[in-house]
Amino acid sequence: MKIKKTYGRIAILLILLSIGGEAKNNLLGKAFSKVVLHGVDKALEDLDKGKDSKILNYYKDMEKNNIDFETNTKIIQDKKIYKISQNGIVLILKYPNKVRAGKQFIIEAKMVNDSQNARMGGLTLSFPQYSALEGSIIDKKFDKVTGYAPPKKMYSGILKKSFKINYFVIEGWENKWEQDTSRYMKIKLLAPTDTNKLEINIRGILIIGSKSSKKELVSPLKSSSLITDQQGYFVQRISINLE
């Protein structure tokens, strides 16, 4: 199996990020040492020769299951599924690969509380290109799902203050969230006609501790994202092609 260098580089990086950053993990340590000591090209060369069987099998498994290496997104026909599990939070976003401009489409966002100590939390979708989008909530299992459009104010635990937002946000919030339970929202939106790609940010947050000493658990972590939203939190950004 000859691995393409573009995907190979992303696959190695994905191994380092998705396994969770634990140095004690043999696969992670092996991949990391290959890249650091010999560079990506050497690591790819060994993969091509089948020397690193565990890493190669990891790559093959992702390829077999039609995983987009760059975004960790599974592609099923015309739909995509993004999933990440970090910091006691599981996030899943189902969305179409492409949509006709001016037509309605559906996205489904789900979050699982995998933290023993969390007492509440929320899932946030934001749309950095637009101050508002036409749509409706089809179904939900959050206590509350709210849309926020400028000049509405939202609070940021990063900035420690409320501020006027610059673009559209949809947030699902659960006030009493038990461990190992999921909450979701299913939303219908009207695809804009002035762009060929709609960008959507997704992130999750859990609150632990009392009100006076609360702590936030967030996902994705800084190690898995280079993008922050207007509230200062790291997000995963996906895009939907518009035709």
Q: What is the pLDDT of residue 70?
A: 46
How would you classify the pairing of strands 181-190 and 135-140?
antiparallel
Let me know the angle formed at the C-alpha of 174 by 76 and 153, rounded to the nearest 5 degrees: 95
- Taking a C-beta distance cutoff of 8 angstroms, is the pair 50, 60 a contact? no
The third-level CATH classification (topology) of the domain covering 73-242 is Immunoglobulin-like (2.60.40)
pLDDT tens, 146-175? Answer: 999 999 999 999 999 999 999 999 999 999
Give the strands of the sheet with 104-113, arranged side by side.
67-68, 73-76, 79-86, 89-96, 104-113, 181-190, 135-140
List 125's β-bridge partners, or say none: 170, 202
Give 98's Cβ-side CA count (13 Å radius): 7
Share of the chain above pLDDT 90, in %: 64
Q: What is the pLDDT of residue 56?
A: 53
- Taking a C-beta distance cutoff of 8 angstroms, is the pair 19, 30 a contact? no
How would you classify the pairing of strands 227-228 and 215-219?
unpaired
The two three-digit tokens of residue 54, written as one number:
């565990």
Q: List helix spans (H) across 1-151.
A: 5-18, 26-48, 53-64
**Whole-model pTM over 0.85:** no
Domain residue ranges in the chain? 5-68, 73-242
- Computed over every residue of the chain, the mean pLDDT equals 81
- Taking a C-beta distance cutoff of 8 angstroms, is the pair 78, 169 a contact? no
* Cα 63 versus chain centre, distance: 19
pLDDT tens, 191-240? Answer: 999 999 999 999 999 999 877 788 999 999 999 999 999 999 999 999 99
- The secondary structure of residue 28, as a DSSP letter, is H
pLDDT bracket for residue 76 (50, 70, 90): very low
